[in-house]
């Protein structure tokens, strides 16, 4: 093609391609990156603040990573989705704060407080417009972001990416079923594993003491293993590590938190993007639940959509399982990046 990037008639897809070509040609990024530290001696945060070129003050977004410990780039199997997202947004004039999560267990409530500490830091920066600070959460981080936004008037907008909003027990069982079917497991195996998970999750929910729950879970597992021949068991192994994860503080915290509740209180602008081949937060069930929650809040400015043919990390994939992440060399979806940047830019325009 001979079209130029400044051609007024160029179609949207060519704009994205031309923009990408311009980026690749640049030797120096059009933004600066500053290492930041904040918090207290008891709870200390370290991260990176990306500041665009141009005239301050800038709108800003705080990135909140998926479940478990995450570094500031949300590094997963060699992929760095938050680095890519921060770089892209900063080229559009949006400052981005991304932070290493504190190590150790943090409840959803505590993580929401952590997010608001980051917002407080951004408000104090002279380069940031305190009226235009938003949250962007990936996976479980989207639920943290929604809870934080529901509790603070300082959050101006919210973007959630591949965020599970079904009740936790239902989400865990759905993840299990999709993963097994993708691996080719027969229906009998899928049903056996799902039945076992339902019974175990009921024990974890009802028995508040993890030590008291453990022997009950082990008894359930022993009976379940005795009910099926080894060939089927081998297709859906369930070991000590799986049992400990179900009985962990993290899982217990998820079971006690209703993700849809926070979304049902939001009046601020919300963008929700789901990944079409996500096995960790299946898009159809979760997008329907999220849409219903936002409608119940009478939120008049929200968009819920899906990016086709990408996994939970918003990368093109084959099987799209978490085990495949290490084999993939794909970047974060350009369509997703462009959608996020365009939406945020439109919602932070100065009035």
Question: Residue 98 has which token pair?
Answer: 């991304």
Residue 3 lies in a domain: no
Residue 248 tokens, joined: 């962990």
Q: Give the three-state DSSP class for 209.
A: coil
Question: To 10 degrees, the CA torsion angle through 247, 171, 338, 69?
Answer: 0
Measured distance CA(277)–CA(311) in Å, rounded:
5
93 and 161 co-located in one domain: yes
Last residue of a domain, one of 220, 255, 290: 255
Contact 332, 84 (CB under 8 A): yes
The torsion angles phi and psi of 23, rounded to 5 degrees, stand at -60, -45
Q: Please tell me whether the overall predicted TM-score, pTM, comes out greater than 0.85 for this model.
A: yes
- Residue 279, domain extent: 12-166+259-347
List the pLDDT tens digit at each of the 351 positions of the chain: 333 344 444 444 444 444 444 444 445 789 999 999 999 878 999 999 999 999 999 999 999 999 999 999 999 999 999 999 999 999 999 999 999 999 889 999 999 999 999 999 999 999 999 999 999 999 999 999 999 999 999 999 999 999 999 999 999 999 999 999 998 888 888 998 899 999 999 999 999 999 999 999 999 988 888 877 777 667 777 888 899 999 999 999 999 999 999 999 999 999 999 999 999 999 999 999 999 999 999 999 999 999 999 999 999 999 999 999 999 999 999 999 999 999 999 999 864
Contact between 69 and 75 under an 8 Å Cβ cutoff? The reply is no
The partner residues of 134 in beta bridges, in order of sequence, read 61, 157
Domain count, the chain: 2
Backbone dihedral region of 349: left (phi > 0), alpha (psi from -120 to 50 degrees) or beta? beta
The pLDDT, as a whole number, for residue 240 is 86
| Burial zone of 261 (CB within 10 Å; 0-12 exposed, 13-18 middle, 19+ buried) | middle
Tokens 């009921």 belong to 202
d(CA 225, CA 240): 13
- Whether the CB-CB separation of 60 and 94 falls below 8 Å is answered with yes
Query: H-type helices in the chain, by residue range?
Result: 12-25, 81-90, 108-124, 140-150, 168-182, 187-206, 210-226, 230-235, 240-246, 249-256, 259-263, 283-296, 334-347
Contact 133, 156 (CB under 8 A): yes
Q: Does a structural domain hold residue 245?
A: yes
CB-side neighbour CA atoms (13 Å) of 36: 23
Looking at the DSSP assignment, which residues form a beta bridge with residue 137? 64, 160
Task: Round to whole Å and give the CA distance between 221 and 213.
Answer: 12
Asked whether residue 20 falls in the same domain as residue 161, the answer is yes
At residue 328, the 3 state secondary structure works out as coil
- Judge if 250 and 269 occupy the same domain: no
Domain-terminating residue out of 232, 255, 278: 255
300 and 160 within one domain: yes
Please tell me whether residues 131 and 218 are part of one structural domain: no
Q: Is residue 1 part of a domain?
A: no
Q: Which of 312, 4, 31 is nearest to 163 (CA)?
A: 312
**Which of 349, 268, 351 shows the shortest CA–CA distance to 59?**
349
Domain-terminating residue out of 237, 255, 273: 255
Q: How far apart are CA 126 and CA 307, in angstroms?
A: 36
**Measured at the alpha carbon of residue 26, what is the angle toward residues 80 and 56, in degrees to the nearest 5?**
80
Residue 6 lies in a domain: no
């Amino acid at each position: 093609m001979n079209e130029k990037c400044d051609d007024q008639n160029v179609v949207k897809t060519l704009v994205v391609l031309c923009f990408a070509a311009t980026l690749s040609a640049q030797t120096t990024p059009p933004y600066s990156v500053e290492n930041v530290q904040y918090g207290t001696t008891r709870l200390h945060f370290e991260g990176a603040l990306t500041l665009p070129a141009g005239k301050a003050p800038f709108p800003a977004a705080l990135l909140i990573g998926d479940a478990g410990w995450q570094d500031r780039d949300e590094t997963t199997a060699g992929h760095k989705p938050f680095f890519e997202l921060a770089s892209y947004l900063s080229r559009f004039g949006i400052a981005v704060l991304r932070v290493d999560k504190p190590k150790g267990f943090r409840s959803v409530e505590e993580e929401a407080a952590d997010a608001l500490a980051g917002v407080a830091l951004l408000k104090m920066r002279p380069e940031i417009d305190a009226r235009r600070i938003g949250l962007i959460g990936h996976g479980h981080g989207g639920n943290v972001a929604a809870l934080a936004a529901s509790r603070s008037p300082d959050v101006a907008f919210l973007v959630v990416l591949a965020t599970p909003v079904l009740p936790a027990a239902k989400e865990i069982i759905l993840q299990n079923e999709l993963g097994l079917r993708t691996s080719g497991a027969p229906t009998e195996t899928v049903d056996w594993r799902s039945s076992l998970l339902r019974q175990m999750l009921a024990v974890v929910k009802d028995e508040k003491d993890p030590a008291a729950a453990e022997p009950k879970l082990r008894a359930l597992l022993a009976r379940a293993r005795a009910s099926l021949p080894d060939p089927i068991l081998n297709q859906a192994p369930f070991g000590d590590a799986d049992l400990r994860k179900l009985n962990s503080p993290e899982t217990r915290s998820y079971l006690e938190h209703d993700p849809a509740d926070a979304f049902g209180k939001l009046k601020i602008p919300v963008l929700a993007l789901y990944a079409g081949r996500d096995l960790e937060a299946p898009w159809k069930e979760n997008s329907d639940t999220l849409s219903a929650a936002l409608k119940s809040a009478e939120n008049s400015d929200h968009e819920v959509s899906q990016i086709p043919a990408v996994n939970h990390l918003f990368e093109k994939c084959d099987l799209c399982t978490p085990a495949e992440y290490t084999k993939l060399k794909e970047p974060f979806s350009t369509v997703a990046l462009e959608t996020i940047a365009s939406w945020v830019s439109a919602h932070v325009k100065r009035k």
